[in-house]
Amino acid sequence: MTFAIGIDLGSTKAVMAVVKKGGIDIVLNDTTNRSTPVQIAYTESERLIGDPVKFQIKRNMKNTILFPMRFLGLNAACQDQLDLEHKFTTTKAIALESGKLAFEVTQMGKKHTFTVE
């Protein structure tokens, strides 16, 4: 039997579905939700993705990246758009020397920079 998988990577949520002979089934995530928030958080000991981020965001705002997909395709020259997008995130995107955008977080005492491409 052949299956096809469809993935919708939205700016705020991601959804995955499997096409079977009888129709389309939405794949549930580990918390039995049909969609997974596009959020990443770095704590002292681990990286959290999706639903677990919601439970720790208030105490770890500086190391939480909300909706990084909204920054795809932007660079440092898009200042008007960046000002708008910063209303939706808690971690500021920084401009690198190359003009690309990045998020800077701290995990286990070390700073890490993640570029948006």
At residue 117 the predicted structure's pLDDT band, cuts being 50, 70 and 90, is: confident
Mean pLDDT for 3-15 is 89
How many whole angstroms separate alpha carbon 91 and alpha carbon 34? 26
Per domain, the residue ranges of the chain are 40-116
**How would residue 18 be classed by pLDDT, with cut points 50, 70 and 90?**
very high
> What is the distance between the alpha carbons of residues 61 and 51, in angstroms, rounded to a whole number?
15
What average pLDDT does this structure show over 28-36? Answer: 89
pLDDT at residue 15 is higher than 70: yes
pLDDT at 1: 64
Q: In 3-state terms, the chain is what percent helix, strand and coil (to 5)?
A: 20, 40, 40
Task: Compare 81 and 16 and report the one with higher pLDDT.
Answer: 16
Per residue in 51-91, pLDDT (tens digit) is: 899 888 888 888 898 888 888 888 888 888 888 887 777 78
Q: Which fold has domain 40-116?
A: Defensin A-like (3.30.30)
Would you say the pTM of this structure is higher than 0.85?
A: no
Distance of CA 34 to the CA centre of its chain: 17
